[in-house]
């Protein structure tokens, strides 16, 4: 009896050890960088070589560690019987330690040991925008008048494995990121920068983590036609088309009144009066509105628009235009933009 009990215990231990080794060989890191740079986003990939045996695994990094992936759910890629699970991390100033990874599935309950990744400091350049990326492209650009001395340039950027949230330019008067969205490796954002009107080209570099070198990007700083680039007469307040309308109705009013005097036909008088009334509507003073202190002044009347500045004190100004949910105002001389209706004074 004692012999059978010893034999059964040995078999149990052997099976447990075999299961442990099987679990260890089923899951392992297929990619772990040895070195990254400060603020770099990088991938860590786990491979499972037997998906049928493991089922759909659940991954949990040690919660006691401050180092955690950007997304708890990994990006999954299937290749035959192999499954690849990719997590994305961001490096900071110190060497990074990827914490222990706990893995649970229908048949496996195991973990992978912590790993250390060396963090290096990247040599800086004056034109470096502080972005490190596997790839980075400017999908679209827009240039608008900011004030009498400056233009504001808005860039629609798409990048991969990039820290776009850190983007800035040293020589810019003002710059920032708006409406950033991230989907695993892919990231998109709107970047705005205020430049002197003398600047004709916006040129900067990002560090390509694949090529291990700086890459130049540039866009021309040219203000397009106001009605196109700023969505329906953002700046100035009165364009050439509005002046043309005034001159047209002046001419019509004079013509119809002259014809009435010559022919005494009330038909001409009626049209002359209508032309004068229409002309007068162009000279009716704009309605006055009040904007709250601290309200944001937007470049365009859209949810994703860039904030050009903040209203530093309660503002009484003329209403220059309206869009759904927005009012167009002049904040200071030459600074025109849109405020949300919710930022108007209650009284």
If you average pLDDT over every residue of the chain, what do you get? 81
120, 171, 297, 316, 321 from 293: Cα distances, Å? 45, 29, 11, 11, 20
Residue 199 structure tokens: 């600047």
pTM over 0.95: no
- What pLDDT sits at residue 176? 83
Residue 343 structure tokens: 């930022």
Distance CA 87, CA 92 (A): 17
Give the model's confidence band at 232: pLDDT under 50 very low, under 70 low, under 90 confident, else very high. Answer: very low
Q: Which range has the top average pLDDT, 45-54, 133-142, 318-327?
A: 133-142
Average of per-residue pLDDT across 8-22: 49
Q: Which comes out higher in pLDDT, residue 173 or 226?
A: 173
Whether 34 shows a pLDDT value over 80: the answer reads yes
Q: Which comes out higher in pLDDT, residue 243 or 42?
A: 42
- What pLDDT sits at residue 251? 84
pLDDT per position as a tens digit, 157-211: 999 999 999 999 988 878 888 778 999 999 999 898 888 988 899 999 999 999 9
Distance CA 221, CA 285 (A): 35
Task: DSSP letter for 125, please.
Answer: -
């Amino acid at each position: 009896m004692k012999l059978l009990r010893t034999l059964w215990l040995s078999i149990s231990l052997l099976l447990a050890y075999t299961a442990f080794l099987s679990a260890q060989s089923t899951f392992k890191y297929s990619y772990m960088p040895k070195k990254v740079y400060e603020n770099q986003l990088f991938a860590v990939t786990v491979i499972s070589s037997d998906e049928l045996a493991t089922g759909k695994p659940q991954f949990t990094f040690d919660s006691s560690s401050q180092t955690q992936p950007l997304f708890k759910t990994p990006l999954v890629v299937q290749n035959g019987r192999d499954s690849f699970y990719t997590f994305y991390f961001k490096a900071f100033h110190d060497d990074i330690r990827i914490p222990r990874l706990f893995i649970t599935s229908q048949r496996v309950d195991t973990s992978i040991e912590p790993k250390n990744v060396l963090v290096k400091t990247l040599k800086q350049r004056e034109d470096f925008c502080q972005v490190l990326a596997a790839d980075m492209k400017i999908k679209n650009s827009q240039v608008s008048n900011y004030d009498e001395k400056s233009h504001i340039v808005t860039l629609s950027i798409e990048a991969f494995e990039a820290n776009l949230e850190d983007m800035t330019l040293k020589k810019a008067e003002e710059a920032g990121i708006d409406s950033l969205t991230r989907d695993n490796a892919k990231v998109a954002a709107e970047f705005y920068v205020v430049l002197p009107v003398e600047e004709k080209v916006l040129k900067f570099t990002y560090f390509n983590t694949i090529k291990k070198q700086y890459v130049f990007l540039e866009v021309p700083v040219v203000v397009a036609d106001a009605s196109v680039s700023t969505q329906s007469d953002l700046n100035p307040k009165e364009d050439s088309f509005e002046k043309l309308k005034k001159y047209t109705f002046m001419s019509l009013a004079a013509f119809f009144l002259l014809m009435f005097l010559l022919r005494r036909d009330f038909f001409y008088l009626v049209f002359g009066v209508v032309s004068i009334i229409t002309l007068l509507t162009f000279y009716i003073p704009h309605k006055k509105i009040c904007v709250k202190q601290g309200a944001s002044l937007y470049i365009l009347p859209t949810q994703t628009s860039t904030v050009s500045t903040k209203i530093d004190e309660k503002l009484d100004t003329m209403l220059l235009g309206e869009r759904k949910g927005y009012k167009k105002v002049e904040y200071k001389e030459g600074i025109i933009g849109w405020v949300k209706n919710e930022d108007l004074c209650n009284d």
